[in-house]
Chains A and B, each alone.
Chain A
Amino acid sequence: MTKANRQRLRDAVLYALLLGVVVLLAFAADWPVIQENFLNQEVLRTLWPEIITVAAKNTIVYTAISFAGGLVLGVVLALMKLSPVTPYRWLATAWIEFFRGLPALVVIIGFALAVPIAFNWQPPGGLVGAGVLALVIVSSAYMAETIRSGIQAVPPGQVEAAHSLGMSGSWTMVSVVLPQAFRIIIPPLTNEFVLLLKDTSLLAIVGAATDDRELTTFGRDSVSENFNSSPLLAVALLYLVITLPLTRLVAYLEKRSMVKAR
C-alpha cells in the first residue's frame, strides 16, 4: 500500500468512527425526555421577562460595578507597586498576591458571611453588595498587575519629554503615561471583563433577594421551582450571547495591536 492510500484509509476509519458514535448517541438519547427537561416551552415562558429585566440586567450591573471599582483600585495598587516608597510597594504586593491566590468564592463568602458575623457589619446593598465588594477587590488584584505592565510599556522618552516641559510627576502620569498605558492594555482588560462577568455567577452562593438575583441565581431558583432544567439552558445561552462577541472583540483588538506594533 502506498503512503497516500494508507493516509486515506486512516481518514476513512476516523470518519466512520465519528459517524458511528453520533448515530449511537442519536438512537440512545431519549429525545422526548431531553425536550421535556431542557426545552420545555411552558417553563421557558414563565421566565419571561424577568430573565432579562432582572437577571441579565443584574449580571451586567454587578459586572460593571466590579469592573469599574476594580479598575480604580487597580490603578491605585499599580501606582503603589511602582512607588519609590518601599512600604507602599510591600502593601500593594501583599494585597495582589493575597487576593490572586485565593479562590474568588472564598473571598465572596468572607465578605458576605464571615466579616458581617465577626464584626456585626451591615454590608451596603445587603449580601449581594458584600459579594460585589469582594469581586471589586479580587478584580483589583488582577487588574493591578495588568495596569502596571501597561505603565511600564510606555517608552521612558515620553516621561522625559513631559518632565523636560516642566510637567510634574502627577500631571505626567495623568496626561501622558496612563492614557498610553490603557491603550496598550485594552485587550487584556476586555478579557478581564469577560472573566469577571462569569465570576458574578459565584454570587449565587450569597442567596440574594428576588430582585437582586443575577443570571445564575435566577436560573438555579427557576430549576428548583419548576423541577425542570430548561431555565439553566436559557441562562447558559444568555451568557454566551454576552461573552462570545466580547471574546471575538478581544481577538480582534489583539490582532489590531499586533499590526500596529509592526
Chain B
Amino acid sequence: MSAPAEGTRAIEVQDLHKHFGDHKVLNGIDFHVDAGEVVCVIGPSGSGKSTLLRCVNRLEQPTSGTVLVEGVDVTSPETDLNKIRSRIGMVFQQFNLFPHMSVLRNLTIAQQRVLKRNRGEADGIARANLERVGLGDRADAYPAQLSGGQQQRVAIARALSMEPDMMLFDEPTSALDPELVGDVLDVMRSLASEGMTMMVVTHEMGFAREVGDKLVFMDEGIIIEEGAPRDVLSSPQHQRTQAFLSKVL
C-alpha cells in the first residue's frame, strides 16, 4: 500500500461534467474524500451519483473536469489506469462475480494477473479475506451456489484481496432481499471501523447516519448539499433535500 503524500486527498473531483450525448448527467461536481473518511452519496435515481462514483476509477470517461486519486490525475492519458484501478476497490450493485470461477479463483485471478503475486501468496490473502467477510468455508463454491448477500460479501472480499487504498460501493445492497442486507452492511461497518477510505452510493440512510463521516446529497447532476450525516438528515437546509428525505425516511 503506497501511503499518499501528506495533505493529499484520497479522491479530489474538480468541476466534473459528464454528458451522454445531449443528456447531461453531471453538471460541475466539486467533491473530495479524505483518507480514512467514509463518504455516503445519496439522491434520487438519475441524479448522477453512480456516474460520479464510476468516474473515480474511469469506468465512465468524464466529458470535462479533473479527477485526482491520491494526487494522480485519473483522466490524463499519461496515467497508468490499470495501476490506479488496482488500488481502488469497487463493489457493484449486481455483484459481478465471475460465474465460471470458484469463489477462491474470483479472489486470486487479479492478484496473480495484476499484482503478479504467486499462487500460494494469492491463495493465503484470498482465504484471509473470505474469513474477514464470514465466508471462509465457501472458498470452493461457485457464485451461483451462493445467496445474493453471500455473493456481495465475496465481491467485497475480492476487492479487498487487492489490498486497495480505498473502496467504492455502488448501491451495494439495492439488489438484495431485505433480510440479506444486514450481513453486507455489517461487513462494510467493520471495514469503516478499521479505517478504510470509503465512498458509498446508497439508499441506506441508517448506515449513512451511523457510519458516514460526510453525507452528500445530489440531484440533477449537481451536489445540492453536503455535511455531517446527522445534520443533513435531521435538518436539511435545501428544499430539494427536504423533499427527498421526506419521501425516503
In the assembled complex, the Cα of A162 lies from the Cα of B98 at a distance in Å of 9
Could you tell me if B90 and A166 are in contact, using CB atoms closer than 8 angstroms?
no
The residues of B that contact A176 with a CB separation of less than 8 Å are 98
Query: Among the listed A158, A164, A171, A180, which residue makes an inter-chain contact with B85, where contact means beta carbons less than 8 Å apart?
Result: A164
Could you tell me if B86 and A166 are in contact, using CB atoms closer than 8 angstroms?
yes
The residues of A that contact B109 with a CB separation of less than 8 Å are 165, 167, 175
In the assembled complex, the Cα of A102 lies from the Cα of B92 at a distance in Å of 47
Chain A interface size range: 10 to 19
The residues of B that contact A157 with a CB separation of less than 8 Å are 92, 94, 96
- Compute the total of residue contacts between A and B using a CB distance below 8 Å: 62
Q: Is A211 an interface residue (CB 8 A)?
A: no
Chain B, residues 86-107, CB within 8 Å of chain A (1/0): the string is 1111101010111110000000
Could you tell me if A167 and B110 are in contact, using CB atoms closer than 8 angstroms?
yes
Could you tell me if B59 and A165 are in contact, using CB atoms closer than 8 angstroms?
no
The residues of A that contact B89 with a CB separation of less than 8 Å are 164
In the assembled complex, the Cα of A160 lies from the Cα of B53 at a distance in Å of 13
Chain B, residues 45-72, CB within 8 Å of chain A (1/0): the string is 0000000000001010000000000000
Q: Is B42 an interface residue (CB 8 A)?
A: no
In the assembled complex, the Cα of A179 lies from the Cα of B109 at a distance in Å of 14
Known A175-B109, A180-B99, A183-B100; contact A164-B88, beta-carbon cutoff 8 A? yes
For residue A220, give the distance in angstroms from its CB to the closest CB of chain B: 45
For residue B48, give the distance in angstroms from its CB to the closest CB of chain A: 18
Q: Is B247 an interface residue (CB 8 A)?
A: no
Could you tell me if B98 and A158 are in contact, using CB atoms closer than 8 angstroms?
yes
The residues of B that contact A158 with a CB separation of less than 8 Å are 96, 98
The residues of B that contact A175 with a CB separation of less than 8 Å are 109, 113
Supply 9 A–B pairs (Cβ within 8 Å), ascending by A. Answer: A161-B97, A161-B155, A165-B86, A165-B110, A165-B162, A166-B84, A167-B109, A167-B113, A168-B82
Chain A residues in the interface with B (C-beta under 8 A): 155, 157-158, 160-168, 171, 175-176, 179-180, 183
Given contacts A165-B85, A175-B109, 9 further A-B contacts (CB under 8 A): A157-B94, A157-B96, A161-B96, A165-B86, A165-B158, A165-B159, A166-B85, A180-B100, A183-B100
